[in-house]
Amino acid sequence: MSDFACRLAAALIMVSTAVLAQAPGEDVPIDTLQLNDGRFFEGKRMTRTPDGIVIHFENGDVLVDRLLVKDSLTSKVEGVEVEISPEDQLKIDDGLVRFEGKWMRPAQRDGMLKSRQAARQSRLEEARTHRLWRNRYTKETKNFAFEYTIDPEKMDEYAELMENYYTTFTREWRIRKPSDMGRLRVCFYHDAEYYHQVSGASPGVIGYFRFVPPEELHFYFDRLDERMTIDVMFHEANHYLTHLIDPKFVYPPWVNESLAEYYGSSQWDPVTKKMSSGHLQAGRLTVIKDQIAAGDWQALEPLIRLEHGAFNAVHYAWGWSFVHFLLESKKYSTNFKRFYVALARERSIKRVPWNFNMRTVEPADQIEALKKYLKVKDLMDLEKEWHDYVNGLEQKDPRGYSEAGEQVLGRGMPIKARRYFQTAIDSGFKTPMTYYGLGRALEQKA
């Protein structure tokens, strides 16, 4: 297991024992640890070291890497040797103690620590209270109305990401929000279990955009895989942004889900203040390469003709690769964007009624419009270009097999998920969550 995995496993063990009973009459240590994801740990003596925080349990010590620590209050500090001068010895003999670089009476030090403990207890109680949905936090930005149970500081980061994502996409695609639409309600939960409990999302659904009034976006914070949290947020937000093209139009899954996957991997650079898109989805690419190795290539026309309920995890992967091929191509990128908008707006394209008083376009008309806008005569020629492009993509990220396992497991494919997780482990990607995924896949298979 890698050093980081060991540190993460240690943190998991630490948090799972967060509330530990004290022996009768034993003083409760004031030592406190706050992790970067907002959780607190207390109840054990701790030592701050250059490498992190050491928690002293009855049966051994656990080091929490400093990269995982947001703040700490410890009763002991190690790592710096301090030579006692004659002047300092006089202060010690006078009953003074050195605390945070200053000499003071023990009572003054203890008072400062008690004040900090009270403040910490207040923060902890507030955090616990707001983890209930009825006591959720709220935050409004220019385009979104957030309701959330995660740490407010973490929410500020995600709110900024969402606004930058909104601005970047609407500028690139020249989309304007209808004047009668206000801020989108965004519900952000602190973990998967609470998300499913409150939102009512089905098992395997890790986020969703409600496209009929009142429009809403729901997803959760995965503290062990924040990249996945951002991917899901950007994916579902993309459904909302393309919904703005025409709120009464429903895009077919091959283009709707695939475009959302393409932009789901977007990354924000806080230094350059730029959003980049088109990054490879390691999990999706793994699924595709697995299919290719088995000689199972996805044909384009059958992909386009798939109904909403038939679009599975394998189709998500192939659809993402097709949109990636088009948007990364100088030959097709601009015209594909025009095609996408035209499906909802172009008067010459026939639309038919769909559920919830919505409209959509039949597969045959989608194909004709695609050929027209991309200026291709034969869909098979386009398919060959796409397959050649996919064949040239390289999977260099060992994380891909683990991601692929999560994706297919969430779509009800435990046998395939088991193979992906096991391949990830055999390739050296031995994170605790990969083993956890393998266990879930084995349990479902059984």
What amino acid is encoded at 258 in this protein?
S
Other CB atoms within 10 Å distance of the CB of residue 367? 16
For the chain, give the longest Cα–Cα distance.
93
Res. 246 pLDDT band, cuts 50 70 90: very high
What does the pLDDT read at residue 356? 84
52-109 per-position pLDDT tens digit = 999 999 999 999 998 888 777 776 777 554 567 888 888 888 988 877 778 889 899 8
Residues 6 or more apart in contact with residue 44 via CB below 8 angstroms: 20, 29, 31, 55, 56, 57
Whole-angstrom CA distances from 369 to 238, 377, 389 are 22, 11, 22
Q: What is the mean pLDDT of residues 169-190?
A: 95
* CA-based torsion, 346, 347, 349, 355: positive or negative: positive
pLDDT for 429 beyond 90: no
Question: Which of residues 324 and 13 earns the better pLDDT score?
Answer: 324
Distance CA 222, CA 67 (A): 17
**Backbone torsions φ then ψ of 87, nearest 5 degrees:** -65, -45
pLDDT for 215 beyond 70: yes
**Backbone torsions φ then ψ of 64, nearest 5 degrees:** -100, 115
- Which tokens go with 255? 């283009």
pLDDT for 119 beyond 90: no
pLDDT for 366 beyond 90: yes
Distance CA 442, CA 126 (A): 39
Res. 21 pLDDT band, cuts 50 70 90: very low
pLDDT for 23 beyond 80: no
Sorted by where each starts, the structural domains of the chain and their CATH numbers stand as: 3-130 (no CATH), 131-244 (3.40.30.160), 267-282+295-393 (no CATH), 398-446 (no CATH)
pTM of the model: 0.77
Torsion angle in degrees (nearest 10) through CA of 55, 58, 59, 62:
0
What does the pLDDT read at residue 17? 36
Whether the bond between 214 and the residue before it is cis, its omega within 30 degrees of 0, is yes
| Residue 262 near residue 277 (C-beta atoms within 8 A) | yes
SS (H, E, C) the chain: CCHHHHHHHHHHHHHHCCCCCCCCCCCCCCCEEEECCCCEEECCCEEEECCEEEEEECCEEEEEEHHHEEEEECCEECCCCCCCCHHHHHHHHCCCEEECCEEECHHHHHHHHHHHHHHHHHHHHHHHHHCCHHHCEEEECCCEEEEECCCHHHHHHHHHHHHHHHHHHHHHHCCCCCCCCCCEEEEEECCHHHHHHHHCCCCCCCEEEECCCCCEEEEECCCCCHHHHHHHHHHHHHHHHHHCCCCCECCCHHHHHHHHHHHHCCEEECCCCEEECCCCCHHHHHHHHHHHHCCCCCCHHHHHCCCHHHCCHHHHHHHHHHHHHHHCCCCCHHHHHHHHHHHHHCCCCCCEEEHHHEEECCHHHHHHHHHHHHCCCCHHHHHHHHHHHHHHCCCCCCHHHHHHHHHHHHCCCHHHHHHHHHHHHHCCCCCHHHHHHHHHHHHHHC
Distance CA 60, CA 43 (A): 15
